[in-house]
Structure 1
């Protein structure tokens, strides 16, 4: 992009107008869509479970066998990821150090709900 000192206001205005015309994926809906809510990272939330009096959202990372775990109503919201959902041994990866103690104390419940949600929301084909 051309530095600000070389651009005119008309060029910047046309550039912003062109950017606004580009159809971008929806990052979140306001009010939330009840059929398929979207989290702040733009990922679909497949389930919400209350674990140890905290609402945990399971967001699907599209194209991967993993869930992104976030708290509903807590800052910072990110807990981490549940990976290896296609295997018999899903694993918790903690991304936020502030929630490490809570996540380790509730690891089995987090993994259990993730595996259950994965099984309910995926289809397996056998030929």
Structure 2
């Protein structure tokens, strides 16, 4: 029989081993991969565009029809997301109140670049 003082350690060790064995779709690389950069949330960055003199990263949210928008070099970095990219009416969802004014002023450009990035990276190639 295992003494009680060792069971917690063994359970924790098994749990950590199981977590490490889970295949994640994207893992953060250090140094960043030049072919497929990864943002701070572990999402692949599909494009970086300069909008109103500020670089904005467009990251793919796996399994959803949206792109996550973040600033590079600005804290807080999260702007929000452009959702409904598979429809005719995509829209901007602002997640960070500190960037609300800037995001609303640049909403058409953010949506335009998100739609272009989405179409470029998700084309089905039907021929």
Summarize the alignment of residues 1-127 of structure 1 with structure 2, pairs less than 5 Å apart: 7-8=5-6, 12=9, 15-16=12-13, 19=16, 22-24=20-22, 25=24, 26-124=26-124
- Does the 8 Å CA contact 1:27/1:39 hold for their aligned counterparts? no
Which 4+ residue blocks in structure 1 deviate beyond 6 angstroms? Answer: none
Unaligned runs of 5+ in 2: none
Q: How many residues align?
A: 121
**Partner Cα distance (2:5, 2:100) in 1:** 48
Unaligned runs of 5+ in 1: 1-5
TM-score normalised over the length of structure 1: 0.82
CA RMSD between the two structures: 2.2
- Does the 8 Å CA contact 1:39/1:45 hold for their aligned counterparts? yes
Write out per-residue CA displacement over residues 22-54 of structure 1, whole angstroms, 9 at most, x where no aligned residue: 235354211110111111111111000011111
